[in-house]
């Protein structure tokens, strides 16, 4: 799917107002009543109805009239709200081809006014079979606001952006220093809005697309080092696999996809750390016939308790003030938001494991 950003120019101001009104209404409704859309938009004399026709034409909203007459944002409508925000800020001027697709995200090329190509990641939590999570697991407290996938996708984008911008949220990580300078090969975060994150382009392809490596042992050791470095800064990736590790022609890696990360203080942190480690073992053995224990240059795999912040805390990141999980909490990303997103990630992870077990059987 290619975005026709030119449509942005032809959507009238009042139509954008109505689109935002639907978005606001979805904070408490899955389907926003027509009366509420009219009230929030403040348009009179049928103005909202005229605008809705335009939004329906471009498939930015969806209309239902079963239980009651109402509207909801479509994924494209939410995409356009984020894109318009980026365009209004001068962050981008155009959207190009889709360069990546995952179970819960899409990645597009975007162009800046200076002609630089960036990556725009659109989070889409619950898009695939994981939609069943909402019905199968009641992870939303009754006291919280109405939960929907747009909200969860926004939380995922904010969390990912916060991790990549951790340099700016703690005196331990001055604003002019990026995560890369702390030994983490990650994209540079540029901007975030709603469920969309702008970041620098990555030189390379997912490890899963590399069927041969000149030095599989070297790449494996890079992966293990970064897994350890994250734990030493208070984080477990939780999805550290061949799909989220990029490798370039020089066989240097870049780590992507951070919303599912948890603190090393999480009760299941050690289990999740070991799971990431086993994923690497399994992939390198299956794809490259590489066994770390047979590598003369290899090292023993790290033990969680020897490298992680929290618990025993003997690793190089043992000073809690230097841990990135603490920095994230200091960034304004609330504990309630962390819990809500982590609950979804945990439920999703369990469903993935169940699917994998069923496939093996």
End-to-end CA gap in the chain:
35
SS3 sequence of 108-163: EEEECCCCCEEEEEEECCCCCHHHHHHHHCCCCCCCCCCCCHHHHHHHHHHHHHHH
Place of tokens 């939590």: 125
| Closest CA relative to residue 288, chosen from 341, 220, 345 | 220
CA-CA distances (angstroms) from residue 338 to 212, 263, 335? Answer: 38, 10, 5
Q: By three-state DSSP, how is residue 54 classified? A: helix
Q: Is 334 helix (H, G, I), strand (E, B) or coil?
A: coil
Q: Give yes or no: 301 in active site.
A: no
Torsion of CA 270, 271, 274, 275, to 10 degrees: -140
Token pair belonging to 188 = 């540079």
What single DSSP character describes residue 322?
G
What token pair was written down for 232? 């030493």
Q: Hey, what are 109's tokens?
A: 């090329």
* Catalytic option among 239, 257, 276, 325: 239
Dist CA 49 CA 43 (whole Å): 9
Handedness of CA 315, 343, 122, 335 (dihedral sign): negative
Q: Rounded to 5 degrees, what angle do the CA atoms 110, 127, 356 make?
A: 115
> Would you name the residues annotated as active-site residues?
239
């Amino acid at each position: 799917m290619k975005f026709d950003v030119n449509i942005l120019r032809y959507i009238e101001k009042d139509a954008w107002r109505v689109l935002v009104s639907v978005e606001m209404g979805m904070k408490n409704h899955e389907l926003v009543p027509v009366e509420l859309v009219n009230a929030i938009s403040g348009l009179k004399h049928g103005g909202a109805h005229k605008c809705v026709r335009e939004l329906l034409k471009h498939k930015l909203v969806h209309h239902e009239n079963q239980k009651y007459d109402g509207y909801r944002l479509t994924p494209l409508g939410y995409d356009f709200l984020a894109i318009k925000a980026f365009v209004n800020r001068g962050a981008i001027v155009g959207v190009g081809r889709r360069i990546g697709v995952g179970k819960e995200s899409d990645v597009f090329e975007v162009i800046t006014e200076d002609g630089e190509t960036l990556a725009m990641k659109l989070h889409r939590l619950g898009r695939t079979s994981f939609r069943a999570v909402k019905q199968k697991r009641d992870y939303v407290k009754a006291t919280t606001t109405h939960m929907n996938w747009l909200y969860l996708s926004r939380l995922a984008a904010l969390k990912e952006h916060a991790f990549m911008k951790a340099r700016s949220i703690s005196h331990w990580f001055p604003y002019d220093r990026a995560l890369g300078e702390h030994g983490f090969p990650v994209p540079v975060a540029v901007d975030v809005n709603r469920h969309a994150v702008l970041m620098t382009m990555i030189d390379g392809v997912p490890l899963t697309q590399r069927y041969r490596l000149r030095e599989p042992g070297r790449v494996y050791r890079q992966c293990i080092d970064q897994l350890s470095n994250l734990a030493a800064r208070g984080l477990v990736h939780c999805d550290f696999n061949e799909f989220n590790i990029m490798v370039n022609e020089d066989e240097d890696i870049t780590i992507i996809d951070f919303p599912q990360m948890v603190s090393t203080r999480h009760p299941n942190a050690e289990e999740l750390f070991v799971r990431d480690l086993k994923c690497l073992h399994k992939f390198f053995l299956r794809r490259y016939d590489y066994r770390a224990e047979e590598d003369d240059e290899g090292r023993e795999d790290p033990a969680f308790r020897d490298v992680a912040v929290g618990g025993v805390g003997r690793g190089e990141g043992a000073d809690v003030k230097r841990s990135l999980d603490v920095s994230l909490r200091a960034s304004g990303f609330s504990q309630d938001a962390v819990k809500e997103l982590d609950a979804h990630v945990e439920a999703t992870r369990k469903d993935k494991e169940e699917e994998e077990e069923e496939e093996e059987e």
